[in-house]
Amino acid sequence: MENSNQAGFHNVNGLMYKNQKPYSGYIFSFFPQTTDTMEVSGYYLGKEHGNWRKYSINKTKTESRLFVNGSKEGELKACWPDGRKKLNYHFFNNEYEGNYKEWNYQGQLTLNLNYHKGYEEGVEQMFYDDGKVRANYIIKNGRRFGLLGTKNCTNVSDSIFKN
């Protein structure tokens, strides 16, 4: 494991080099003016590889993800600096696969999407910060059905049946 501030590291077109050679190993970086770890990232023959981790200044893990030979794989988890959930994605072969969720700083779910081979598929939901539905639709065989929220859409019950 080596410090990213050491001379010789540079990134060219997405590949990490050390002393003009593709780098294999882990690199860490510190927060400025501290010895607190900010990020740990791995490489194999210059490509992103292995478990990557990021931390907040208060030492909370804020992100963890996996790369295999330059390809995003598995689960990406991220948290706000205080440790609360921020996002959770899944990858297979460098594409979104499965459930994809995001939360705002208050902990409210704002995105709940589903992917298959990099494309939206299934139930897709978006919410405003207050929890109200922004969009709620289903993608089936490449077609979208449901409340899109693209032109100030509101639920029928919200617009017609107000007292």
Q: How far apart are CA 25 and CA 27, in angstroms?
A: 7
Domain assignment of residue 53, given as a range: 1-71
Is 163 found in the same domain as 92?
A: yes
Average pLDDT over residues 125-134: 94
pLDDT tens-place string over residues 94-128: 999 999 999 999 999 999 999 999 999 999 999 99
Distances (CA, A) of 138 to 58, 115, 141, 144, 146: 40, 11, 10, 6, 6
Is 98 found in the same domain as 152?
A: yes
Average pLDDT over residues 22-48: 95
pTM, whole model, 2 decimals? 0.81
Is 39 found in the same domain as 96?
A: no
Domain end (from 71, 97, 127): 71
Is 127 found in the same domain as 66?
A: no
In a domain, residue 126? The reply is: yes
Q: Quick one: pLDDT band at residue 148, thresholds 50, 70, 90? A: confident
Is 66 found in the same domain as 90?
A: no
